[in-house]
Each structure stands twice: as C-alpha cells, then as structure tokens.
Amino acid sequence: MFIESVKRMKMRIVPNIHIDISPIIQLFRDWGANSTLDNKRLTKKTCWLLSVNGFLRPSDICFIDLNNLKIINGALRLYLVAPKKGGSQSITKTCTIGPIDNSLICLVEAFKAYITEIALLSSNSAHPSQTELSINYLVSSIKKNSKKIGAQRICKHINSIPALIPGLADTIQPKGRAIGSTLAAQSDVPLNKIVTLGN
C-alpha cells in the first residue's frame, strides 16, 4: 500500500546545482571588519556562517547557550539545548568549529565580534519547555539585544544571504546547512563525515 502511494506521488526534480559562494565572500569583504558592522549586518553574517560552517538549523542556532560557550585553541565550541526532551533526558548537542586565516569570513571571528557588540553575556531566560533550565540565548533582536528571537527570525537572517548566489534566483533557494554540506561534498569531504556533521 505504501509503495503504491509513493508511486502515485508527483516527484519534483531538484536540479544538480554547483554552488558558488564567491559573491558572498566578496560581500563580506566589502562590508569590512566585523568590528565596523552595524547590528543588522553582523547578526545576518553570524547566523549565516553558523548555518553553513556548523551545518546548523535555525532551531539549533536559536538554542545556543552562551553560558557554556568555550573557545579552545582558537576553535569555537558551542553547546545547544534542544527544545524538547528525549525520554527523561534533555537533548543536548555540541558543535566545534575551527578558525580560518581570513578574518572577514571566519565564523570564530564573527562570533567573537557578535558576543562583544550585541550578545548579552549575563542575560538568562528560562527554557520554553524545560523551566528548570536557564539559558543565555545567543541571538537577540537587532533593535533590542535583551530580547531573544526564535527560529523563524533567524531563518530570515540566514536566507537573506544566499539570494546573492548566481543562478539561483529562479530555482530552489538553498538552506544554509545545505550550502555547507554541498560545499563539503564539492571539496571531496567523505560522505560519512558530512552526514555525521549534519545530524
């Protein structure tokens, strides 16, 4: 029955797109140093780099907890608290991202600028479904940095950047984590490692 239903479904064919992010890299260069960016640009840039470099969904980024942030040997280690529980245990996830030489497109450098200029390092709020947990949410409102924002707004920040990729205006707009995994595949990163990073 299930197989027959699948056969009757209309399948949309996704084109095999080679993603070129050079216009985005140039954009970040044109914007200049992270320390000179306004809140809007720095927020968009940080969210996009988190999504692409960390293979993170907006719902992951929204639950990054600054209370457990660590930078070890130049690498950024993030701690995410999922919005739901798995059985009797809270679902948590860690993500470690290393630095690159170019500071204008380095997530670690953008992240450090973001927490210096925008994020509040001493602003805790209760977890939406686990009130016993207190979280210092990373991403906040552009207009009021004491107000946290949800996955939908973070998604808009991320999606405002891929529109600059050539050849995609009339096709499917890729998600940030899809761009990250595609670029990894194009760089001959083993598939099993890409799958592990994306989970």
Q: In this structure, what DSSP letter does residue 163 have?
A: G
pLDDT for res 78: 92
Q: What percentage of the chain carries pLDDT values higher than 90? A: 25
**Strand, helix or coil for residue 51:** helix
Range of the domain at 75: 19-183
- By the 8 A CB rule, do 37 and 113 touch? yes
Q: What's the token pair of residue 195?
A: 């799958």
Number of domains in the chain: 1
- Residue 3 falls inside a structural domain: no
- The model's confidence at residue 39, banded by pLDDT at 50, 70 and 90, is very high
- 31 or 134: which leads in pLDDT: 31
Which among 161, 189, 186, 187 has a CA at the least distance from the CA of 173?
161
| CATH number (domain holding residue 52) | 1.10.443.10
Rg, Å, the chain Cα set: 18
- Residue 59 falls inside a structural domain: yes
**Strand, helix or coil for residue 75:** strand
pLDDT digits (tens, 9 = 90+) for 85-138: 555 556 778 888 888 888 888 999 999 999 998 886 666 777 777 767 788 889
- How many CB atoms within 10 Å of residue 3? 7
Provide CB contacts within 8 A for 174, sequence distance 6+: 17, 19, 162, 165, 168, 182
- Residue 198 falls inside a structural domain: no
Q: What's the token pair of residue 137?
A: 């949410």
- Residue 166 falls inside a structural domain: yes
Q: What percentage of the chain carries pLDDT values higher than 70? A: 66
- Residue 188 falls inside a structural domain: no
